[in-house]
Amino acid sequence: MKKITGSCVCGKVEFSVADQFVYAGYCHCSMCRKSSGAAGTAIGGIPKNHFSVTKGQDHIKRFNRTEESISCFCEHCGSALYGEKPSVRMVHVRYGALNNNPTLLPQAHMHVSSKAQWYEISDELPQFSEFPDA
C-alpha cells in the first residue's frame, strides 16, 4: 500500500498516511479559517488505523475544538497537521501538511455557509452548506 508523508514547518513532527483517503474537500468553516489563517483548509479523511505519527509525538499539542473534533498541531511552529474525529475513528489530514500528492483530490467545498465573504470560490466543485454525509 502506497504511503505518503507529511510534516510541520519546523520538521519536529512527521507523519505517514496510506494514500487511501476516503473523502477530501476544502473546509470553509470558521474554525478551519482561524486555525489556518487562510481562506479555508483542504483536508482528506482517512480511517485512524491508516495514519501514524512517525516522529515528534511529544511535540504535538491537541486542542479540543468540539467534542467530536480535536485539532493537532506542532507546539514549536504552530503548523496545523490533522484533526482527530474520535466518534467516527477518522483522521482529517491537512493536505497542506503533506509532502507528496494524494491520489484523491478535493471533491467538494464544505461548510460554505460560513465561508469568508472576501473569498470567492471559482472552481466547479460541488458546494455544501455544512459537512455532507459521507
Residues that bind Zn ion (CB under 5 A): 8, 10, 12, 27, 29, 32, 74, 76-77
Which one, 72 or 74, has the nearer CB to Zn ion?
Answer: 74
∠ CA 32-133-112, nearest 5°, is 40
Using an 8 Å Cβ cutoff, are 77 and 92 in contact? no
Distances 31 to 41, 56, 73 between C-alpha atoms, Å: 10, 25, 14
Which one, 4 or 8, has the nearer CB to Zn ion?
Answer: 8
Which one, 26 or 51, has the nearer CB to Zn ion?
Answer: 26
Closest by CA position to 24, among listed 122, 116, 130, 134: 134
Shortest distance, position 92 Cβ to Zn ion, whole Å: 8
Shortest distance, position 76 Cβ to Zn ion, whole Å: 4
Which one, 8 or 72, has the nearer CB to Zn ion?
Answer: 8
Q: Which three cell numbers stand for residue 77?
A: 511552529
Question: What's the farthest any 2 CA atoms get from each other in the chain?
Answer: 41
Shortest distance, position 101 Cβ to Zn ion, whole Å: 22
Shortest distance, position 108 Cβ to Zn ion, whole Å: 13
Q: What is the CA radius of gyration of the chain?
A: 14
